[in-house]
A and B are shown apart, each in its own frame.
Chain A
Amino acid sequence: MVGQALFILTAGITLLMALGVVLARNLFHAALFLVGAFFGIAVLFILLEAEFLGAAQIIIYIGAIATLIVFAIMLSRHVMGKEAGAYNRNWYFALAGVVFFFLLLGWLLIKMPFNLVTAEVPADAIAQIGQGFVGHYVVPFEVASVLLLVALIGAIMLARER
């Protein structure tokens, strides 16, 4: 019961925050809502017994990505003046499409059978994740690091003044 209550509370707040992200006219507020949503997701990870991911979620999404976005907004604040509207012309199509998509997918997911497995999370989960990175998944891991390097260089090249 407590678990369900916690889930409903967290998930509800997270969804409200997410709605705030897409609805807020002020970009800075949207970014703050984004931080809230990320935080809620981190809590959900911890509820799912993935503490490592919860902490990593906060470090990466709130500590890095959200702050980066806020920084970008602050840098470009004078463009953000009172503009015609936050949404483009066919936002109602988008809304209809998204709602339809949500209902359809949600219905499908409820219908779909899953082979649930009840087992404890291994005690050395973090160690296993680490082993996975340098063992089974070393190639994707290396590729991801190369991707980050390339993104770093690319971002610098794109953003620098010529």
Chain B
Amino acid sequence: MDLRAIGESFIAWLEGLGIPQGWVLLINWILGALIILGIALLMALALIWLERKIAGRIQDRLGPNRVGPFGLIQPIADALKLLTKEDITPADADRITYNLAPAIAVFHVLMLFVVIPFADKVVGANINVGILYLMAFGALGTMAMLMAGWSSRNKYALLGGFRVVAQLFSYEIPIALVMMIPVLLVGSMNLNEIARGQGSLAGLGWYVWIMPAAFLLYFVAALAEGERAPFDLLEAESEIVAGYNIEYSAMKFAWFYLAFFLNTWILSAIATTLFLGGWQGPFVDQVPALGVVYFFLKTLIMFLAFAWVRATFPRLRIDQMMAFCWKVLVPMALALLLGSAIVVKMGTELNLPGVVTNGLMLVMNIVIVLVTLSLLGRYTRTLHETKNKRLFSPELPRL
């Protein structure tokens, strides 16, 4: 069964009704958008439950367990509660901006769903510059949080806004650099093409095997891009109360919450597409619909990994967070990009077989990881050699 076929037959049916072609397209687009929206919203509820449950179990708690079996209805109950709460707008707030911010926050994440290939060619919009599109709309989220932080007329909110800019801007650079590496290998910015490019060798063609360092780097940077622990400094409760969304309540807060979870899911989906083979899996050529299953399975695994990290790691200090980005991730990403470019060029120039190129890539990745680790190790040793043994004391040399 091909999902694509359903869409095409639907279009044919509409045209059969004698509707002009432009309108058919429009109806098709709107329907597609609605489907994606529905999937996203429903999924968010499930994800919220999942994350809370997992965090609970990891921390030796039960997690949600009151409403419904295993607390399954908990997110719905929460949503209802938020809907019925009073919607407060601070008197001094910049009203339009204040109300616009949560909308943009959700909007930018939903826009990202458009280019994710759920199965072969099952894409909202199969555009040529998919990766660029992801980066573009990813950047829009910063704007929403800035607006929220500024318009609240609250110093904690403003501080949160500053942190948003600092953090998201900084981590956008390594993440963008790393996202370019699969593009180099495939030679296309189309996400579907990238997923298709990983089909060889029954799962061994996934880029996570070929360039583990890039995947690792993406994962770490994505933690920061998704404002997740240990990089959740923009809403660090103990420092700035709740960051940019401190003044928001009721449904507007719910929108930020929604955006946060969907963003995490999208980051997992991008990781799946770029590194875990996307919709690739056994028998997907025969039964294309299986691709959707594989895709969601892999994304779920990625999401669980994110949740796992969130439940386990303590928060970083802000200067450590910035230093880690600029002094570790950015140079490493640059080195990876450069190395990959050289390897790819070598492969095409010398007509190397794909396996050799991939092997070289793997070796290059491992070398870069080792070098990075050894440099970090040297830094840690200097930490230990100093008199003050407290690891992150401010007197110690900066990273």
Residues on A lying within 8 angstroms of B by beta carbon are 2, 26, 28-29, 32, 35, 42, 51-52, 54-56, 58-59, 62-64, 66-67, 70-71, 74, 126-127
Contacts and interface: CB of A to CB of B under 8 A. Distances in A.
B352 interface: no
Contact of B165 (A62, A67, A126, A127): A67
B143 A35 contact: yes
Contact of B135 (A42, A59, A66, A67): A59
Contacts of B117: none
16 contacts: A28-B94, A32-B97, A51-B127, A52-B128, A52-B129, A52-B132, A58-B136, A59-B135, A59-B136, A64-B139, A64-B169, A66-B143, A67-B165, A70-B150, A70-B165, A126-B129
Nearest to B138: A63
B133 to A, nearest CB: 5
A63 B161 CA distance: 15
B243 to A, nearest CB: 14
A55 B132 contact: yes
B189 interface: yes
A21 to B, nearest CB: 15
B172 interface: yes
A62 B140 contact: yes
Contacts of B161: 74
Given A28-B94, A59-B135, A62-B139, 17 more contacts: A28-B97, A32-B97, A51-B127, A52-B129, A56-B136, A58-B136, A62-B136, A63-B136, A63-B172, A67-B143, A67-B169, A70-B165, A71-B146, A71-B162, A71-B165, A74-B146, A74-B158
Contact of B162 (A32, A58, A74): A74
B296 interface: no
Nearest to A1: B22
Interface residues of B, number: 27
B26 to A, nearest CB: 9
Contacts of A126: 128-129, 189
Contacts of B169: 64, 67
Interface of B: 22, 94, 97, 127-129, 132-133, 135-140, 142-143, 146-147, 150, 158, 161-162, 165, 169, 172, 187, 189
A67 B146 CA distance: 8
A145 B150 CA distance: 33
Contact of A62 (B97, B143, B162, B172): B143
A63 B135 contact: yes
Contact of A58 (B128, B140, B189): B140
Task: Specify which of B22, B146, B169 lies most central, judged by the most chain A CB atoms within 10 Å of its CB.
Answer: B146
A74 B132 contact: no
B142 A63 contact: yes
Nearest to A51: B129
Contacts of A54: 129
A23 to B, nearest CB: 15
Nearest to B136: A58
Contacts of B129: 51-52, 54-55, 126
Contacts of A2: 22
B167 to A, nearest CB: 12
A101 B158 CA distance: 41
A138 to B, nearest CB: 15
Contacts of A51: 127-129
Contacts of A32: 97, 147
A118 B142 CA distance: 40
Contacts of B128: 51-52, 126
A70 B172 CA distance: 18
A70 B158 CA distance: 12
Given A2-B22, A74-B150, A67 B132 contact: no
A47 to B, nearest CB: 14
A58 B140 CA distance: 8
A75 to B, nearest CB: 8
Given A32-B97, A74-B150, A67 B133 contact: no
